[in-house]
Amino acid sequence: MQDRELRPCLQDPLRSLGQIITWATMNSVPIQVRGSGHMWINSLPSSGVVINTLPLASIAIDAASGTATIGAGTLVGEATDAAHAADVHLPLAACPSVTVIGPLLVGVLGRSKAFMSHQDLFYALRGAGNSFVAVTEITMRAYPKINRGIHFSRDLSFVPSEAVGEAVNALPRIPHAKMQLYMVSPAQPLLRLSS
């Protein structure tokens, strides 16, 4: 049997996801759930099923209740834009091209009571993440926007040098990056990063 990649168009992604998982489980076929493809799929043997969650992209923010419901295929950049439009902050990873849910599962970011009250689940998710479970949607807390929406700010000072300016000018221009670089010249060059 020859390995091949199939990318079927699914009319009902949630229903199809359940059917795929059921079939793979019944036939002892390994499964790997993937979002944006940012991570390496290294736990899947040479044959198996990779489930792409990008068709499950969605976001609904309810600023009044302080919640955001985010679909498995939603990218951090999309969630950041939606949060900005709704005047809220969301606890997200920093890279705009990864899914929101992927880093939450693999890294188990943030504070969690699960560590103390459900240690088995906590360590299963932290160790296996997207190989352990197929998360289709999460609901997280949305915080009122403060500080004009600036999440991170850092000033880096350098000894006066043309090399600093050349290094900044040589940085690749990424169209959807959520970072800004400013170069000012008081007594010494200052690089301000804000996102």
User: Taking residues 160-180, what's their average pLDDT?
Assistant: 66
Closest CA to 106 of 117, 116, 95: 95
Q: Which domains does the chain have, with CATH numbers?
A: 1-147 (3.30.465.10), 152-194 (no CATH)
pLDDT in the model for residue 128: 60
The CA distance from 105 to 83, in Å, is 21
Predicted confidence (pLDDT) per residue in 98-131, tens digit? 889 887 776 545 555 555 666 776 666 665 655 6
Task: Specify whether the CB–CB gap between 122 and 26 falls below 8 A.
Answer: no
The pLDDT mean for the chain works out to: 74
Task: Specify whether the CB–CB gap between 191 and 180 falls below 8 A.
Answer: no
Q: Is 8 or 58 the better-scoring residue by pLDDT?
A: 58
Closest CA to 194 of 145, 150, 149, 147: 150
145 pLDDT exceeds 70? yes
Average the pLDDT over each of 12-26, 70-84, 121-135 and give the range with the smallest value.
121-135
For residue 30, give the 3-state DSSP assignment. coil
pTM of the shown model:
0.66
Closest CA to 33 of 48, 45, 51, 46: 51
Q: Which two tokens stand for residue 131?
A: 């190989």
For residue 194, give the 3-state DSSP assignment. strand
